[in-house]
Amino acid sequence: MMKWLEHQRILYTLSHNPIPHEMWEELMQKAGIFRGLSAVERAHLRELTTLFLLRKDLCGVQGLILTMEMALTLAAQACLPILMLGLDYYDGWVEVVIYPGAFRVERDSTDAMGLVSHQDRILSGESWSRGPVILSWDNVASDLAAPHSGHNVVVHEFAHKLDMLNGNANGMPPLHPHMEVKQWTKAFSGAFGQLQQQLAHHHHPSINPYGATSPAEFFAVASEYFFTDPHTLQLHYPAVYEQLLLFYIQNPASRQSGLKVPNLTE
């Protein structure tokens, strides 16, 4: 009964708060990250995006006026990783804060040893456990203008959100029942070690060296590649690509090649 009521509520919401058709179509055309999605997947993404905009509180700060188009651009990208997972994966928090440009963060932090350090950094995005996602609009816009480069600050920060579903960000989100922790760990620790080795030996890194910062950053960076430059990730870290395919239940390399997406929901 509750499920039926919830379903009716969702249908009512979708029919009363539609995203303007032309605005949606324009976004699907101009943003490379959505390339290759089938008509059914796009329709599903549109539903998720509508619900995301209704459930989350998007808020511009430092004078940033958030237009419907901007909110839509951000929300649709945030919903792409959870296309097959569902909006429940973003439960437990509501706020998305958007700065006009890169923002400065100054704070004291305490590590596991109890050592307090002062951080003063310029960031393009940040994700808090059970708290807001913070983004710089400048970076969101530039990722959209230059897709397939392995950079997408929206995917990056929302990947951290998925990672934090099962505690601190450690590079492993809650895996599906048919996945194996052992396989995930083997794929990710191997790739993480390789990237660190490349940097230690001053070799050209296979992916954004920021991924070598920590396992959590590696997962977020690998997710950026998975959705924006899947062939690069598949080429250098096929085992990581395979695990992300199982986790996100999507195959961007296949759909961006114009090939038929295999049935992954076994």
Ranges of beta strands (E only) in 124-251 are: 125-127, 133-136
Q: Does residue 33 touch Zn ion according to CB under 5 A?
A: no
Q: Does residue 164 touch Zn ion according to CB under 5 A?
A: no
Query: CB neighbours of 15 closer than 8 A, spacing ≥ 6?
Result: none
Quick one: 51 or 155, whose CB is closer to Zn ion?
155
**Kind of pairing, strands 103-110 and 116-123?**
antiparallel
x-marked contacts with Zn ion along 50-89 as a string, rule CB under 5 A? ----------------------------------------
Min separation Cβ 134 and Zn ion, Å: 11
CA dist list (Å): 157 to 128, 234, 255: 9, 21, 23
Quick one: 143 or 217, whose CB is closer to Zn ion?
217
Instruction: Give the DSSP H/E element, type plus range, for residue 106.
Output: strand 103-110
**Cα–Cα distance between 245 and 253 in angstroms, integer?**
10
Min separation Cβ 219 and Zn ion, Å: 9
Q: Does residue 159 touch Zn ion according to CB under 5 A?
A: no
Burial 42-64 (b: 16+ CB within 10 A, else e): beebbbbbbbbbeebebebeeeb
Min separation Cβ 153 and Zn ion, Å: 9
Quick one: 85 or 220, whose CB is closer to Zn ion?
220
Please give the size of the binding site for Zn ion, defined by CB under 5 A.
2
Cβ–Cβ under 8 Å, residues 117 and 108: yes
DSSP-based three-state secondary structure for 78: helix
Quick one: 75 or 220, whose CB is closer to Zn ion?
220
Min separation Cβ 160 and Zn ion, Å: 6
Q: Does residue 220 touch Zn ion according to CB under 5 A?
A: yes
> Sign of the CA dihedral 23, 29, 33, 37?
positive
Quick one: 126 or 229, whose CB is closer to Zn ion?
126
Interface with Zn ion in residues 110-139 (CB under 5 A):
none
**Cα–Cα distance between 90 and 75 in angstroms, integer?**
12
The piece of 75-83, 146-154, 213-221, 224-232 that touches Zn ion (CB under 5 A) is 213-221
* Sole residue written with tokens 């959100």: 161
Min separation Cβ 220 and Zn ion, Å: 5
The piece of 132-140, 143-151, 193-201, 214-222 that touches Zn ion (CB under 5 A) is 214-222
Quick one: 10 or 165, whose CB is closer to Zn ion?
165
**Kind of pairing, strands 133-136 and 95-99?**
parallel
Joined tokens for residue 146: 């230059």
The one-letter amino acid code at 244 reads L
Min separation Cβ 95 and Zn ion, Å: 18
Min separation Cβ 159 and Zn ion, Å: 8
Q: Does residue 154 touch Zn ion according to CB under 5 A?
A: no
Binding site for Zn ion (CB under 5 A): 217, 220
